[in-house]
Amino acid sequence: MNPSSFEHYKFYRLYDIDLDSALHTLNILRRYKRPDIRNVLLRDIIITYARPFSGNKGNNIPKHTLTLKFVPLEQRNLHAELMNLRKQLFAHTDLTYRNPRIANWSSEKRRWFPMSFRGYDYGSLNKRIDDITNLISSVHYELRKRIREIENNF
């Protein structure tokens, strides 16, 4: 196996760990009812799930990502939604997502510029835990299948 192919295999193995971690965190999430704890765990799940798809640096491969071929067609809308949440809200602060508005409530005595911005409704995400679990499990299954194919050719 050449160095690039071996590095590709290493990335797959690391992605396997990421997806396994996301699934374990989903199991932890099911034990908690408090919204503040659930929101933090959901954010972690999405960031961890998105990691393989977000572009990763290698030694021989400058930018490696897990491709959409690992995501079942019927789950790609949810995948895209989670990727956008990770990209625009959880891992970055995108103005296009937050759409901040600044008001000027200043007076002669005090300068005051409150800001409003778009938040996120974790409640809707909480209602889709089973769908998220199925998505991550499906991607994980396809990835593990590919890893076994590579290992069978060692």
pLDDT digits (tens, 9 = 90+) for 132-148: 999 999 999 999 999 99
Whole-model pTM?
0.90
Of 83-87, 91-95, 130-134, the range with the lowest mean pLDDT is: 91-95
Tell me the C-alpha distance between 106 and 146, whole Å.
61
Average pLDDT, the chain: 94
30-48: pLDDT as tens digits: 999 999 999 999 999 999 9
**Helices in 2-128 by DSSP H: which ranges?**
3-29, 35-50, 76-85, 95-98, 122-126
CA distance 82 to 3: 32
| DSSP bridge partners of 116 | 101
